[in-house]
Structure 1
Amino acid sequence: MQSQEDANRAAFIEEAHDLLAELETALLELEAQPDDRDLVARVFRAMHTIKGSGAMFGFDDIAHFTHDVETVFDRVRNGEVPVTRQLLDLTLASRDHIARLLHCAVSDEAPDLAHAAAITASLRALVPVAGTVADAPPHDADGGECPAEPEAPCPPCTRTWRVRFRPTPSIFFSGANPLSLLDELRELGGAQVFPHFSEVPGLDELQPELCHLWWDVLLSSESDEAALRDVFLFVEDDADIDIRLVDDARIVDDAAYKRLGEILIERGDVSADDLHRVLDEQRPLGRLLTDAGVVPPERVDAALAEQQAVRTIRQSRDKESTAREDSGASIRVAASKLDFLVDLVGELVIVQAQLSQAAHLRSDPGLLGLVEELERLSDELRDTTLGIRMLPIGTTFSKFRRLVRDLSAELGKDVELVTLGGETELDKTVIERLGDPLVHCLRNSLDHGVESPDVRAAAGKPRTGTVTLSAAHAGGEVLITIADDGAGIDPVRVLEIARTRGVIAPDVELPAREAIELIFAPGFSTAEKVTSVSGRGVGMDVVKRSIEALRGRIELDSTVGEGTSLTIRLPLTLAIIDGLQVLVGGESYVIPLNHVEECAEHATPSSADGRQRIINLRGEIVPYIRLRELFSSSGPAPTIEQVVVVDAQGSRFGLVVDCVVGEHQTVIKSLGRIYKDVPGISGATIKGDGSMALILDVPGLVQLAVDQPPRAQRVPAASHGGGA
């Protein structure tokens, strides 16, 4: 059984990977916006959290290494060290080393201490030699320099803060030490610590593993509120932390600091009734001032209005902050549990279909009503479960910025990555299996597509190339496009290389569009020499197989001298879809409902020759395909057939079937290795009566019909009516 310590370490490792991803994203954004102080704060917070949590859970090597990096970025945050390419390179290298330390902690491998020392030394070399952080020129409350003369000593611009630190009794269970946090506060400036013992029980009731104390700290420091909150960053969930600013010891802002009466009531030194009785005997400050002739009444009214306005604004801001925190609440669930839940929902859908069919056979109104309610709940449960699996594809896009940055530097090219549609959602399983194919495609765009700066300048292009990675919904699919403004693919050169490598016969001639698709052939490569990036003939064929394994497909478009565009079409989910069940030759098939536009009746033609025909559908010419002929189905065709009009590859096609049965909630099952490459078929499903129906791949089916000669090979009709 896993111990609590092991569980805490596992939780830290998982959280650290998320923080490292956030750190990398912030650093890459900081490279484009080096003056953005919010990005600098994001970097600092990520490293501070890694350091604090690492020390808490026993990852001392990570805590010590991260402390050095954090120290440098603290100087950046104070404006003492500029954001440069060298600093970002070293910080990214530090991020990679922290990831390596996490791997070593799991695998018990020895970390590379020499590499860590080299990074640390390089980082320290960027820090000005003239003193430490404490020697830095102080700043005023607004972040600007103090208005003192350069020759004169600048007085410290300190601010006074009141910090209330009230940990939960169980804070020790998370490994935190409140005294260490108080010591860290003392390091920021002069501090007066006031412990509160009112909640400490007697010895007979005392539980030593619980924290019964809480503290008020009056701190005079040059640090801002963010620095104070950073001290408590990794115990925010285990403590009530209130930080208030005191600008002047004589006049305390009512909205920023508790009044004397409130403090006395909190401590139990006076009751609320006694306090109000005494206050009723005194006059407000404003009336005292006006009666003494010190200030006119209208000025007091203006000051009171300002006070009320500030209170209202602060209350509104607090409410918005609370709402944001509530809306961002989440819980981390293991992917295996989610996959198991989806499998259970799939089985529930099948049972619900079987129950629905049995209820219709009995014609029992009461039972039919219950079945309809079960179907509604089943649909909602299915949609909710699949919605949980949906993630924004931007989570995958973000890691490619680092890839493009490092690879363009390695190749000596200037390349900018533009990402669009990162909010587009896709099934988590698809996203996980999409990473490697996208890496291959991006590497090819940078290596083979985008030219070197000098070549681009000679061609009249900007020296910096652009690679655009975008995603968008299109019906029940997600389109992911990788486009570059590079040299494009020359079909003549591709044909020459294909003949040389034996991919095609020497005498074969192909149209330009088919020629460029030869890059997906196994072993094909246009690289003139083998490098660390390309040239071994492994890549695009693997990409195509990986995408097809996800029931997707790749479309390639390229213009010589202008660039290349590669579009990947993927289904939204790999688990459950809505389908339209049809009959062809006595066999059941399911057409994904996202492709279906309408259904119409169609008289069976007397002539059986030809594979593709045209019908007039309300004045629109629509080509159609008879699935009986395409599948070589036996048995007589009905007198009146039905046409299912589908959208495939941006065009409308008709699929002529014997009969349309109706909508079918389809749980997708794979066909296994033997049948997985059958053209026009993407999977199978189990019907309510326990028999099997094949799921049609509509775009592949249309392409198969277009490519085949009239009497060429047909897709054999599978005998699947008897069971799964």
Structure 2
Amino acid sequence: MSELDPAEVFRQEAADLIETLEQALLDLEKRPDDSELVGLAFRALHTLKGSGAMFGFTAVSEFIHEFETAFDRVRKGEATADRRLIAAALEARDHVAQLIDDPDCDPERGTAILSALKAAVCEGAGVETGASEHLAAPIVETGSAQPVAAGWHVCFRLPADALILGTNPLLLLDELRSLGPCDVTADTSALPPIDFIEPQSCYLSWDVTLKAGVSREAVDDVFLFVRDDMELSIEAIASESPVAAAIMAPVIAETTTVIEAAQPMAAASEASAPKPKAAAASSDRANAAKSERNATLRVPAERLDELMDRVGELVIAQARLSQLAEAIHDPSLVNVAEEIERLTASLRDTTMGTRMVPIGTLFGRFRRLVHDLSEELGKPISFVTEGEDTELDKTVIEQLADPLVHLIRNSIDHGMEPPEKRAETGKAATGTLRLAASHRGAEVAITVSDDGAGLNAERIRRRAEEAGLLSVGQVISEGELNRMIFQPGFSTASEVTALSGRGVGMDVVKKTIDGLRGSIDVDTTPGKGTTVTLRLPLTLAIIDGLLVRVGEDRYTIPLAAVEECLELPTGVAADGRGRSFLNLRGDLVPFLKLRDLFHTEGEVDPYQKVVVVSSDNTRVGLVVDQIIGNNQTVIKQLSRLHSGVKTFSGATILGDGTVALILDVMHLVAYGQKLEERRRAETLGRAA
């Protein structure tokens, strides 16, 4: 078994922390007085700094230290998180990500970013920019610019999990000794009885007297990467000069407060030491904290895929067992088969849950994109997300990132008008971009909508005719015309810019969605806005299906898409051209005879059944010979040779070892919808 690369482990952890930092900064721009957001951003920075130092990313830690020092003034309420500061902080966040990927990248860029950040902090604090040279705690000096302190009294206690996280207190003591002569005393008052000692926990604290006239900054640097996770007091030992003592009094008073705040904790620990029950409770709390830290576990995606494959095979074997138990009629075997079926269903749901991810994890990435495009184009935009809890397979979510980026960029660049133009049309200066997701039967619908100018049908037709996609005067539906924007190389932009004009982005959207066996709808209203809907079939490895028979063949319909089942009324038959409609409680629902669609031979069953399925609020009936019943369906993808077959989304192995094709409900509903549109057109034609 190969060992994990520590650098790669850090990069994975850092990606989550950087995402947290970015989201906190974007929220902070809207709520600059929210102290919780400031604390969240600061904790993300501090964890990145400490982890970077631990894994050898020195450049990352040093840059974040300066970043953290500047941002600390916001945390202390000395500066306001205004737009300029957030912009500088976001740029610093980008540089951190670049340093993680390439530690040797241009250091001058990092220096310039830190200068801009410090200037923004000073501006937010009402301080002249020149004062930003040193944002750390000031060193009190005499008139001759010499440090007043003749030495330093340092008290520190590391967190209980410091040793587990790789912090070595002996190295900290060695660094203090390197600054000058030290008297070191270990405080063992918090040490529990030996029966309750955990070898990896840190119970000691240290009292150090540094007998050297070094600067406060030099002492601070010793605790650079662990400071915020520990109890630390640094008290200056003033010289005998009366003037110096008067100057140092406020500093001593300030540090004394820190010591007093730490004393009750030490006293409590000391009081608990001789009490085994209290020590046991402390041990339990430590274990609970460890359990909370270990609540999540990173697992390679290929292992989850392998686990899903094994569960799929188990489902097939369980179906075979249930079929045998039913055929043999042995009560004991039936009981065992039912118990295994229950356990298999539970294991299936749990395993699928490990692959399902809320789409909100994807939506959050686009906040920065919208923020930057809004600033770049000078278009104020309110970004609204809905349905973040909608779950999708992680592999599908990863493939949706690029298409959604292109759709959002297109909406902001082409759809949204500048503020002055929106004012002329009576709209609010701030445009609204909405990103939403929802489950609709056996599919997931993702919509990107804006309240911009809408699509220009005349311009789209003109460009399509120029590109040879349409002949002059060719009659097509509004939906087909709108979908022209997804053709390769198609663009209505008058000039090529950094954002658009080459007709590449929307082509990427179509190719990706086609690859996921999905569809795209475009709905636009001139002057009101545009909505692009991506419809994707649920592609889980295991689904609940309705098994039906057509002739001698069996097919599976995803159960989530089934609305109801009924018997085909006597006397209802297709007309001469194969189009049939069923009056279902006042609604005219088209139905497709699968026998005709699949060219099935043999005698027709006298009592045929209709399975009514739906997709995006559109219903279609599927006429079958027999409804066999529900079953757990393990989806097996079709080969590339069958990629052009749209009627089926996959295949499954039944309990008796035979294969049943899985119907693509979305495609069948679209096919039935086209039949209905033709019927209406013919009806209107005859009426005219």
TM over 0.5: yes
2:204 aligns with one of 214, 235, 251 = 214
After superposition, where does 1:113-262 map in structure 2 within 5 Å? 113-126=107-120, 127=122, 128=127, 129-130=130-131, 132-135=135-138, 165=158, 167=160, 172=163, 174-179=165-170, 194-196=186-188, 214-215=204-205, 231=226, 257=265
Matches within 5 A, 1:563-574: 563-574=529-540
Residue segments in structure 2 that go unaligned for 5+ positions in a row: 141-152, 210-215, 217-222, 232-253, 680-688
Distance 1:471 1:180, change over 3 A: farther
Q: Judge conservation of contact 2:190–2:270 (CA < 8 Å) in 1.
A: no
Matched ranges for 1:67-146 at <5 A = 67-104=65-102, 110-126=104-120, 127=122, 128=127, 129-130=130-131, 132-135=135-138
Aligned to 1:674, the other structure's residue is in SS state helix
Distance 1:648 1:165 in 2: 59
Shift of 1:117: 2.2
Please state whether the residue corresponding to 2:563 is helix, strand or coil: strand
1:297 corresponds to which residue? none
Aligned counterparts of 2:45 and 2:519: Cα–Cα separation in 1: 41
Distance, in Å, in 2 between the alignment partners of 1:604 and 1:689 is 36
Deviation at 1:589, TM superposition (A): 1.3
Taking structure 1 as reference, are residues 463 and 218 closer, same or farther at Cα in structure 2, changes over 3 Å only? farther
> Are 2:666 and 1:675 aligned?
no
Paired residue type of 1:661: I
Q: Does 1:435 align with 2:429?
A: no
Cα 1:234/1:584, change in 2 over 3 Å = farther
Q: How far did 1:660 drift?
A: 1.1
- Partner residue in 2 for 1:403: 369
Match of 2:273, SS state, is helix
The secondary structure found in structure 2 opposite 1:570 is: strand
Query: 1:175 is aligned with what amino acid?
Result: G
**SS of match in other structure, 2:432:** strand
Question: Where in structure 2 are the equivalents of 1:475-514 lying within 5 Å?
Answer: 475-514=441-480
Give 1:373-412 correspondences, 5 Å limit.
Answer: 373-412=339-378
Measured against aligned partners, the alpha-carbon deviations of 1:389-409 in whole angstroms (never above 9, x if no partner) come to 222211111110111111222
- Equivalence for 1:526: 492
Cα distance, 1:341 vs structure 2: 1.1
Q: CA deviation at 1:135?
A: 4.1
Equivalent-residue separation in structure 2 for 1:136 and 1:416 (angstroms)? 45
CA deviation vs aligned residue, 1:392-451 (integer Å, no higher than 9, x gap):
211111110111111222223222211122222222122111111111111111111111
> What CA deviation, in whole Å up to 9, does each residue of 1:153-206 have, x standing for no partner?
xxxxxxx999754646xx55643222566899999xxx996432997999xxxx
- Structure 2 vs 1, CA of residues 40 and 588 (structure 1 numbering), >3 Å: closer, same or farther? same
Aligned residue type for 1:120: L
Q: Letter of the aligned partner of 2:188 in structure 1? A: H
Tell me which amino acid in the other structure corresponds to 2:454: G
CA contact (8 A) 1:671 1:683 kept: yes
Tell me if 1:266 matches 2:273: yes
The whole-number CA distance in structure 1 between the counterparts of 2:579 and 2:289 is 59
Q: C-alpha distance in 2, partners of 1:387/1:694?
A: 25
Supply the distance in 2 between the matched residues of 1:694 and 1:46 (Cα, whole angstroms).
49
Give the corresponding residue for 2:306: 340
> Helix, strand or coil for the counterpart of 1:577?
strand
Structure 1 residue 458 corresponds to structure 2 residue 424: yes
The match for 1:413 is 379
Deviation larger for 524-533 or 55-64: 524-533
Seen in structure 2, the aligned counterparts of structure 1 residues 233 and 643 have a Cα distance that, compared at 3 Å, is farther
Q: Which residue in the other structure is 2:657 paired with?
A: 690
| Gap change, CA 1:653 and 1:327, over 3 Å in 2 | farther
- Other structure's SS at 2:354 match: helix
- Structure 2: how far apart are the matches of 1:37 and 1:325? 28
Distance 1:230 1:424, change over 3 A: farther
Look up the match of 1:25.
23
Aligned partners of 2:263, 2:65: CA distance in 1, in Å? 36
Deviation at 1:597, TM superposition (A): 1.7
* Contact in 1 for aligned 2:649/2:662 (Cα 8 Å): yes
- TM-score by length of structure 1 reads 0.75
C-alpha deviation, 1:676, in angstroms? 1.8
Distance 1:465 1:324 in 2: 46
Check the 8 A contact 1:667/1:686 in 2, yes or no. Answer: yes
Tell me if the contact between 1:181 and 1:231 (Cα under 8 Å) persists in the aligned partners.
Answer: no
In 2, Cα distance between equivalents of 1:477 and 1:185: 63
Alignment of 1:353-372 (within 5 A): 353-372=319-338
CA distance in 2 between partners of 1:396 and 1:183 (Å): 46
Q: Which amino acid in 2 is paired with 1:196?
A: T
Measured after TM superposition, the shift of residue 77 of structure 1 is: 1.5
- Amino acid paired to 2:87: D
Of the structure 1 ranges 685-694 and 482-491, higher mean CA displacement relative to structure 2 is found in 685-694
**What residue is the counterpart of 1:645 in the other structure?**
612
Query: Partner of 1:278 in structure 2?
Result: none
Aligned counterpart, 2:12:
14
The one-letter code matched in structure 2 to 1:92 is: L
User: Number of aligned pairs?
Assistant: 607
* Distance in 1 separating the partners of 2:678 and 2:75: 73
Distance 1:182 1:200, change over 3 A: farther
Task: Tell me the TM-score normalized by structure 2.
Answer: 0.79
Kindly provide the amino acid, as one letter, of the partner of residue 641 in structure 1.
Answer: Q
Q: Encode CA deviations 1:462-514: one digit per residue, 9 max, x unaligned.
A: 22211011222333433221110000012222111111111122231223233
**2:187 is aligned with what amino acid?**
P
Mapping for residues 514-663 of structure 1, pairs under 5 Å: 514-602=480-568, 603=570, 609-617=576-584, 621-663=588-630
Kept in 1: contact 2:591–2:622 (CA 8 A): yes
> 2:370–2:381: 8 Å Cα contact kept in structure 1?
yes
Amino acid at match of 2:205: W
Superposed CA deviations along residues 671-710 of structure 1, whole A, max 9, x for unmatched, are: 1222223232222222222222111111211222343699
Whole-Å separation in 1 of the counterparts to 2:230 and 2:261: 28
Q: Is the 8 A contact 2:548 2:625 kept in 1?
A: yes
Amino acid at match of 1:51: K
Please tell me whether the aligned partners of residues 158 and 202 of structure 2 are also in contact (alpha carbons under 8 angstroms): no
Cα deviation for residue 99 of structure 1 reads 1.1
Q: What is the identity percentage for the equivalent residue pairs of Structure 1 and Structure 2?
A: 46
- Taking a change above 3 Å as real, the CA distance of residues 327 and 115 of structure 1, as seen in their structure-2 partners, is closer
Indicate the larger mover: 604-613 or 75-84. Answer: 604-613
Q: For residue 37 of structure 1, what is the aligned residue in structure 2?
A: 35
Work out the CA distance in 1 between the residues paired with 2:582 and 2:135: 82
* Cα distance, 1:194–1:650 mapped onto 2, change above 3 Å: same
Opposite residue 195 of structure 1, the aligned amino acid is D
C-alpha distance in 1 between matches for 2:499 and 2:426 = 27
- Corresponding letter in the other structure for 2:71: F
Q: Does structure 2 retain, via aligned residues, the 8 Å contact 1:49–1:233?
A: no
